[in-house]
């Protein structure tokens, strides 16, 4: 029998829209706040900021809203809504997230986060839903000069895992994120959130799945013999 070959030795995850259900709430907060000051911010325009690092997304929103003053107004109003007291986690885990992370942990596969959000926000949001401890490192958009679709964030995450990007399987929901992962040399599994992947993204993706639940059964195959033995007990 031909021995099974390990394809990947580590996993890297985006956060917003992939691990936690946050993109819709954030988008609606911005659209609603813009409406309150008389500006129409279309969802089709807003989705273009998804996956970008904060400096780039802020600059794009300034252009959409007309000027810096309007941007600051809408940012403050949306932020107040998103940070209002809540009885539970404001951004719940997406289906299959905890189960997939548990499977990878049980298989001894190191995991990292590569998110356009700030490191402080990443740790806070993942800590609130109880999955932060699954990750050996966290890399945020505030740590790189250029955000997604530039590959720097994924390169940083792989470096912190101590492996080459080519050894990593990335999980992403957005086109910018998937492009960043692909440009770094990692392979990417796309689990779309708000916006379906373009034909270009579908073409270079390792897989396109409906939910993270669907990835769990593939862990032994994607991460090789070591993962299979670990999951078998």
Element (H, E) at 137: strand 137-140
Question: Of the listed 14, 150, 173, 193, which one is catalytic?
Answer: 14
Catalytic residue flag (residue 16): yes
CA nearest to 135, candidates 159, 118, 110, 155: 110
Pairwise CA distance, residues 26 & 154, whole Å: 24
* Extended strands (E) in the chain: 10-13, 111-115, 137-140, 168-172, 187-190, 207-208
> What residues are paired with 20 via a beta bridge?
16, 93
Pairwise CA distance, residues 149 & 154, whole Å: 10
Question: Of the listed 16, 150, 173, 193, which one is catalytic?
Answer: 16
Q: Indicate the angle between helix axes 97-106 and 224-232, nearest 10 degrees.
A: 100
Residues of the chain by 3-state class (helix, strand, coil), percent to 5: 50, 10, 35
> What residues are paired with 188 via a beta bridge?
170
**C-alpha to C-alpha distances, 111 to 37, 80, 173, 186, 193, nearest whole angstrom:** 42, 32, 17, 13, 21
Phi-psi region of 96 (alpha: psi -120 to 50; beta: other; left: phi over 0): left
Catalytic residue flag (residue 14): yes
Name the token pair of 71: 């941007």
> What residues are paired with 208 via a beta bridge?
190
Q: What are the residue numbers of the active site? A: 14, 16
């Amino acid at each position: 029998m031909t021995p099974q070959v390990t394809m990947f030795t580590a996993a890297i995850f985006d956060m917003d829209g992939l691990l936690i259900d946050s993109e819709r709430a954030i988008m609606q907060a911005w659209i609603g706040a813009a409406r309150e000051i008389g500006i129409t911010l279309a969802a089709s325009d807003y989705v273009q900021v998804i996956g970008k690092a904060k400096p780039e997304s802020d600059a794009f929103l300034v252009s959409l809203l007309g000027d810096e003053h309007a941007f600051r107004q809408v940012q403050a109003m949306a932020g107040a809504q998103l940070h209002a007291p809540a009885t539970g986690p404001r951004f719940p885990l997406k289906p299959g997230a905890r189960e997939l992370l548990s499977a990878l942990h049980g298989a001894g596969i190191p995991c990292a986060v590569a998110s356009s959000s700030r490191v402080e926000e990443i740790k806070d949001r993942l800590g609130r839903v109880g999955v932060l401890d699954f990750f050996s490192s966290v890399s945020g958009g505030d740590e790189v000069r250029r955000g997604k679709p530039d590959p720097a964030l994924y390169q940083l995450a792989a470096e912190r895992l101590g492996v080459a990007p080519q050894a990593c399987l990335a999980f992403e929901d957005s086109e910018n994120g998937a492009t960043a992962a692909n440009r770094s040399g990692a392979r990417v599994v796309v689990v779309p959130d708000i916006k379906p992947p373009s034909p270009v993204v579908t073409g270079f993706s390792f897989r396109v799945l409906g939910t993270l639940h669907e990835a769990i059964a593939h862990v032994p195959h994607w991460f090789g013999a070591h993962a299979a033995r670990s999951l078998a007990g």
